Structure 1
Amino acid sequence: MENNVLNGMDRVDPSLRDEMLAELFLNQVLNDFKRSKILEKVDQSLKNEDKEAFLRLTEELKSVSQ
């Protein structure tokens, strides 16, 4: 999908294209960071044998991964 987005970008004004690419990049970095933090919490919940936290965090992880 990202390839399709980039292929269509050649028809967009260069300054707008740069802004859009920066926004896509920042969104990806933010999602990666959120995912990483949730995974750390999932690991901790497993170590603590906290089933409630594990289930809540895995649901949160699903929503971030979509």
Structure 2
Amino acid sequence: MEKKFLNDLPHSDLNYTDALFAEMVLDRALLNFRKETLQKEIDQSLRERNKKEFLRLTEELKKCL
């Protein structure tokens, strides 16, 4: 899936700074959502004693930090 940036859209009344700020807020929200999801999946792998999945998920979480 190709990522579209607000500043890639045709010129409009959007101020560049506002567009950049909105993009940063959205990126942060998506990152926080992904980290929360990974933490829940890590907890589940611990409950299931799934070492392989735990290690994979913790490596992915490290990349988000």
Same fold at TM > 0.5: yes
**Counterpart code for 2:56:** R
Aligned to 2:17: 17
Q: Secondary structure at the match of 2:49?
A: coil
One-letter amino acid of the structure 2 residue matched with residue 19 of structure 1:
A
TM-score for the superposition, normalised by structure 2: 0.77
Corresponding pairs, count: 52
Give the distance between the partners of 2:34 and 2:64, measured in 1 at CA.
Answer: 7
Task: Tell me the secondary structure at the aligned position of residue 59 of structure 2.
Answer: helix
For residues 64 and 34 of structure 1, the distance between their equivalents in structure 2, rounded to whole angstroms, comes to 8
Deviation of 1:28 after TM superposition, in Å, equals 0.2
What's the offset of the Cα at 1:57?
Answer: 0.2
Q: Deviations over 1:22-62 (max 9, x none)?
A: 00000000000000100000000000011000000000001
Mapping 1:1-66, distance limit 5 Å: 15-65=15-65
1:64 is displaced (CA, Å) by: 1.5
Q: Percent identity?
A: 38
Superposition TM-score, scaled by structure 1 size: 0.75
Q: Larger relative CO (CA 8 A, sep 6+): 1 or 2? A: 1
Question: Which has a greater percent of helix?
Answer: 1
